[in-house]
Amino acid sequence: MEVIHYRELTDEEKYEHFMERIENDEKIEAGDWMPDEYRKALIKLISSHGASEIMGALPEKEWVPKAPTIDRKLSIMAKVQDEMGHGQLLLRVAEDLLKPMGKNREDLLQDLFSKKLKFHNVFHMPSPTWADAAIIAWLVDGAAILTQTMLLKTSYGPYGRALKRICQEESFHAKHGESLVLALASGTEKQKQMLQESLNRWWEPLLMFFGPKSTKDIGHSSVDINMKYKIRFKTNEELRQEFLTKYVEKIQLLGLTIPDETICFDEEKQEWIYQQPDWKKFKQVVSGNGPRSDARISLRRDSYDESEWVREALSDYKNKNQSLVG
């Protein structure tokens, strides 16, 4: 076996060796040498995935105390707690990547507050009724499951391991969502109508969730870089097609109407034809100018500022106790 002394290699040689590892489907670990481009792509992907989990807890959180029955209260509490847990897990992975750059969680949170750190378009949207909690758990989580399953084989080891745990919990979320949707779909006219209206609200954001088909739609994309490094394996459009294949029939079977008259499966091309969402709107929303962006970000920021004294106290306590031991 050949032993390679990294310090003796030029950057170019390191890069070559790194790419070899990628080609051989080896997993990259936090302490391994990696090109800047790879590190940056990971940080961007994982920190915004983490931010999406944390911000994604908010639209459902609005319905936690209002969940209609004790059992629903229990299951939505469990679900939102999982999402916070996913956020925690992912931020830790991102933190390790940020360390060599002299950054930490505080920086990530400040980036979130200043809208520099982006999160998924769906979590900028309002969730005005209980049916939104149902549609989010069923379809937004359904969409997230597809993306996260695709990412399971990612070349970055720590991310893959976090995703493995996340995907296990996601299957419970899908069941929770299905159960909520089913109860409303088989309920009174009022319940059915509430569900349909919610689907109407969420359809476009759901299509947007996977991102634009080509870079032309919003001007830039990190998909290519991520594919090159085997961070991800499918394009946005492939995932969207998968989503439609998985859910269109299910939605219709519930007696719901998809708010797109043109939607159909083209047998010849073997793909779904659908009304393109408004990608300009998408770009606006993810830049932090969606209908609920400011409200949700400031909810997070204000509560964070409000408990500044607590974090100060904790670090003071830690310092005191360390000096006692030391």
Partner 1 sequence: MSHYETIVRELLYQLADDNFIHSYRGSEWLGLAPHIEEDVAFSSISQDTMGHASIYYQLLEKLLEVPVDEISHNRKPEEFRNAILLEEVNGPGDYLNSPKYDWAFTVVRHLFFNIFKDIRLQSLNQSSYEPLVHAARKIQTEQYYHLMHWKTWFYQLMSSTEEARSRMEQAIYRVWRDFGGVLTLGKYGGEMSDLKLIAPEAQLKEEWLNQIQQLFSEVDFTIKDDPGMEKGNGRNGEHTSDLVDALNVLSEVYISDEEAVGW
**What is the contact surface with partner 1 in residues (CB under 8 A)?**
54, 57-58, 61-74, 77-78, 80-81, 84-85, 87-88, 91, 130, 183-184, 186-188, 190-191, 298-300, 302-303, 306-307, 309-314, 316-317, 320
**DSSP letter string over 63-88?**
TTTT-SSHHHHHHHHHHHHHHHHHHH
Verify binding: residue 176, Fe ion, rule CB under 5 A. Answer: no
Record the tokens describing residue 57, joined without a space: 């807890």
Q: Considering only residues 111 through 140, tell me which ones interact with Fe ion, judged by CB under 5 A.
A: none
CB of 115 to partner 1, least distance (A): 18
Contacts of 14 (CB under 8 A, 6+ apart): 6, 33, 35
Selection from Fe ion, partner 1, none that 141 binds (CB < 5 to 8 A by kind) is: Fe ion
CB of 79 to partner 1, least distance (A): 10
CB of 19 to partner 1, least distance (A): 35
Selection from partner 1, Fe ion, none that 299 binds (CB < 5 to 8 A by kind) is: partner 1
CA atoms within 13 A on the CB side of 93: 26
CB of 318 to partner 1, least distance (A): 9
Verify binding: residue 86, Fe ion, rule CB under 5 A. Answer: yes
C-alpha closest to that of 272 among 245, 235, 249, 236: 245
Counts of helices then strands in the chain (DSSP H, E):
13, 2
Residue indicated by tokens 């995935």 = 49
Buried b (16+ CB within 10 A) or exposed e, 55-74: bbbbbbbbbbeebeeeebee
Verify binding: residue 141, Fe ion, rule CB under 5 A. Answer: yes
Interaction site with Fe ion (CB under 5 A): 53, 83, 86, 141, 170, 173
